[in-house]
Structure 1
Amino acid sequence: ETIARAHDGTLLLTPRADGGLRVTVELPSAAGSGDGRPARALPSP
């Protein structure tokens, strides 16, 4: 969480119905490093 916040990001922890924990880290992209579209989300394991 400290690293995510240090980079103006967020950390979300969500329990999964079938057990385990989903961890979502969102970080802003660097200015000018992309086309403005969000990155593709990866499927859950």
Structure 2
Amino acid sequence: MLKKRIKYCRWRHVKRKKVKELSERSKHIENKNIQAYTLYQTEQGGRRT
């Protein structure tokens, strides 16, 4: 139970970090179309979150 909890917390932290990174990156991208951005992300090889 404890192990699982730690894993979950760690994953949550990573996810939050990723989201922050994505938002930072999206600011630089001029095209604000979300669909186009996700398509761009999948083409890069990153998983869609």
- Which bin holds the TM-score, normalised by the shorter protein? under 0.3
Q: Give the TM-score taking structure 2 as reference length.
A: 0.26
Query: Larger relative contact order (C-alpha < 8 A, sep ≥ 6)?
Result: 1
Structure with more of its chain in strand, by fraction: 1
